[in-house]
Chain A
Amino acid sequence: MTLDTRIQLQDVSKSYRLGKSEISIFDSLNLDIPAGDFLAIMGPSGSGKSTILNLIGGIDRITSGQVTVGQLRIDNLSEAKLSRWRAQQVGFVFQFYNLLPMLTAAQNVELPLLLTAHSRRERMERVNTILDIVGLDTRGKHLPSELSGGQQQRVGIARAIAMDPQILLCDEPTGDLDRKSAEEILDILKILNTEMGKTIIMVTHDPSATTYARRTLHLDKGQFVRKELEHMA
């Protein structure tokens, strides 16, 4: 499973157009994330943290440089190929969960599985297994609105790992949660990293959340400023 899914950003720059001017988010950024890493990224808002996740996850395009995941250059993949690659390799966990509000927890988790050839029964089995992993086995039939924030985020994580991707990209996954729920979420992420070998990249504003990660990078004005702080694994 943990084949070579090392993630490399080489000389990546990203800019966007605003009217006539070209605004640079970062220039010549380099980042090397070994398979099985749990990396926390901190930094002020607007510094480009989400953009890094987007570029690694293939939902935004770099302006120049290259992004390699495993052996694969993903920066020049076609739209359709990138879509398929994402479905297989990447799970997203969002600050505001981004569950489809009119689908039940189980249906939300099933969503990525619809992209496979699995039968309905296989899908349901997988959904139940995963809801079990995140401790929501009794809540499958609930709508998101009937769940607490922490529970919704657990559904979000379940959806992210439904396809058993190697990489999890989490954008402030605890940003909207109370302390206790946040810790539950971070515990789950940690288990996914240590026991299932997922590579996790987590953007956070919460210094205590970084203690769950293997290392933390600080991004400011498009640069990683302080060098990596090692944590206890």
Chain B
Amino acid sequence: MNLLRQCVAVTNANLRSVRRRFWISFSLVLSVALVTMILLGFLAMANGFNKALTQVGAEDIAIVLSSGARSELGSRITPPHLHLLEEAPGIARDANGAAFTSPELIVPVDVIGKSDQLPAAVSLRGVGLRGVAVRPLVKLSEGRMFAQGANELIIGKRLAQDYEGLELGKTILFGKSKWKVVGFFDADGSVFESELLADAKVVQTLFNRPNLTQVLRVKLAGPDGFAQLASYIEANPRLPVTVRSERQYFASQSQRVSQIILWLGWPLALTMALGAIIGALTTMYSSVSDRLIEIATVRAIGFSRTSAFIGTWIEALLLTLIGCGVGTLAALLLLDGWAASTVGADNTQIAFELQLSLSMIINAVAVSLLVGAVGGGLPAFRATRVPLRLAMTGRS
């Protein structure tokens, strides 16, 4: 029918008249752009975090925590249990039969950020003799390994870049303990680079945590290694520990963190979307009252109610889509790949990049369309109710 033609004509006229309402229309575009950016920011953060943690997980490394602990922080493995674990099958061993394991603990220490001069907590990790051997990604890039029994440490490259005083040969003070920086390592930019490594025994002593082991890191022997270790632990009721492959462990960690990011992000984005809907209502109601005479005139000529509705509605949808486009573009330019220069906000200073994807952009478009559809819908309905006699009375 000619309904389509009517709608096109009315929409065309409406859109051309947006110039008259430039600033209020612009404010709608801007508010939707902001919502889009916030939403994309959070989604990209969650995504980047996931990637940072899941890509590095190895299948031939196992992480043993005490039963019930979801992360190293809540975990504690006692020395007798450690001894039992050392005996377990499925663990890679050297020629002398010594297991490739590393009992570890982490201690938060304060360092000063280079860019903001603010203190931040990073993890000083005490590792066993095989600490580096059970971290395939970690490669010493400068200096040397810390010596056994010495208060020396090696530092992830990313940390060294971002924090003050982490220089080769320097001595740094954590609390009352002095540490000498003897080496740097890199780990393909993975989470491992966000830590300082030292001898676990020395860390236990200097931080007064005698015999504390939070996690046992294990290099697995061959493809059945994990199954053997797992069934050994299961079969031994005196061992209240759980084992996961490093990949599983990182995946579960990142899931929780990215979930937290999403739990924060979506409500915030939706609350802002609600604000944008109110903004859209204001903008579009003012558009309708700006066009009262025009609407009444066109309707008097014989245009349908539907065309008055569609014309107004499409104006709202287009404005919000433009806002979405602007917000997406800004997010792509400003946020995508952002972390190359930034270390993440998590307490453990894990580095990750914000990564945008098509599905996130689809989400943002959906939210914007929701804002336009709801915020434009009521005013569009009002447009269909404009009394036609206004055509006779008014000066436009």
Contacts and interface: CB of A to CB of B under 8 A. Distances in A.
B389 A60 contact: yes
B176 interface: no
A60 B388 contact: yes
A112 B36 CA distance: 40
A53 B392 contact: yes
Contact of A94 (B16, B17, B298, B392): B392
B391 A98 contact: yes
A112 B301 contact: yes
A117 interface: yes
A102 interface: yes
A138 B391 CA distance: 28
Using C-beta atoms within 8 Å of the partner chain, give the interface range for chain A. 20 to 34
Interface stretch (A81-89, A179-187, A190-198, A210-218): A81-89
Interface string A165-183: 0000001000000000000
Contacts of A94: 297, 391-392
Contacts, number: 80
A101 B299 CA distance: 16
A100 B391 contact: no
Contacts of A92: 297, 300-301, 391-392
Contacts of A117: 2
B396 interface: yes
Most chain A CB within 10 A, of B294, B297, B387, is at: B297
Interface string A101-130: 111000000011011110000000000000
A59 interface: yes
Interface stretch (B5-13, B94-102, B119-127): B5-13
B342 interface: no
A175 B90 CA distance: 100
Interface in A105-160: 111-112, 114-117, 159
Nearest to B298: A111
B13 A50 contact: no
A24 to B, nearest CB: 16
Nearest to B303: A115
A86 B294 CA distance: 17
Contacts of B299: 59, 83
Contacts of B297: 92, 94, 98, 100
Interface in B80-121: none
A224 interface: no
A51 B389 contact: yes
A79 interface: yes
A50 B396 contact: no
A114 B9 contact: yes
Contacts of B16: 102-103
Interface string B366-396: 0000000000000000000001110111111
A222 interface: no
B17 A101 contact: yes
20 contacts: A59-B299, A59-B300, A59-B389, A60-B388, A86-B300, A86-B301, A86-B302, A92-B300, A98-B293, A98-B391, A100-B297, A100-B298, A102-B13, A102-B17, A102-B19, A111-B301, A114-B6, A115-B2, A115-B6, A115-B302
Interface of A: 50-51, 53-54, 57, 59-60, 79-80, 83-84, 86-88, 92, 94, 96, 98, 100-103, 111-112, 114-117, 159, 171
Interface of B: 2, 5-6, 9, 13, 16-17, 19, 293-294, 296-305, 387-389, 391-396
Given A88-B302, A92-B300, A100-B17, 4 more contacts: A60-B389, A94-B297, A111-B298, A115-B303
Q: What 6 pairs between A and B have smallest CB-CB spacing? A: A87-B302, A102-B16, A59-B388, A98-B297, A50-B392, A96-B395
